[in-house]
Amino acid sequence: MKVYGITNCNTVKKALDWLKANNVDYEFHDFKKMGISEQKLNEWNEKAGYEKFMNKQGLTWKQLDPAIKESVKGVAEALPLMQQKTSMIKRPVIEDGGFLFFGFDEAAYTAHFKK
């Protein structure tokens, strides 16, 4: 299982704390240190649609130049922007086999990991 995120994100911290408390082993991929590949973003887009993991509520999006925001019309603009500004990706991203989840939701985690 792999968890993608950044270490100073409170939502990522909550998720990692939950995983540890529930004895769920994971590998952590730090966006800030390791970036994210175009291939991985395309994979997530194919499975969930980029709108599901593009965080327009966060500070990174809000601080973008309005012209850049306006230029994001679809996947062709969104994925390169998220690759460049990984803080725009909703965190954490959890991959566990066929399970792909964006963000922290204790009920969803419990349903998946405590089967």
What is the C-alpha to C-alpha distance for residues 82 and 74, in angstroms, rounded to an integer? 12
Would you say domain 2-113 falls under CATH 3.40.50.970?
no
Backbone phi and psi for residue 28, each to the nearest 5 degrees, phi listed first = -105, 130
pTM for the whole structure: 0.93
Average pLDDT, stretch 45-70?
95
* 99 Cβ neighbours under 8 A, 6+ residues apart: 112
* Residue 20, pLDDT score: 97
Confidence of residue 98 (pLDDT cuts 50, 70, 90): confident
Asked if residue 108 has pLDDT above 90, the reply is yes
For residue 115, pLDDT beyond 80: no
Which residues face 27 on adjacent strands?
Answer: 2
pLDDT in tens, 11-49: 999 999 999 999 999 999 999 999 999 999 999 999 999
Q: For this structure, is 45 an active site residue?
A: no
Q: What is the mean pLDDT of residues 50-57?
A: 96
Using the predicted structure, report yes or no on whether residue 82 has a pLDDT greater than 90: yes
Structural domain boundaries in the chain:
2-113
> Given 6, 9, 54, 79, which residue is catalytic?
9
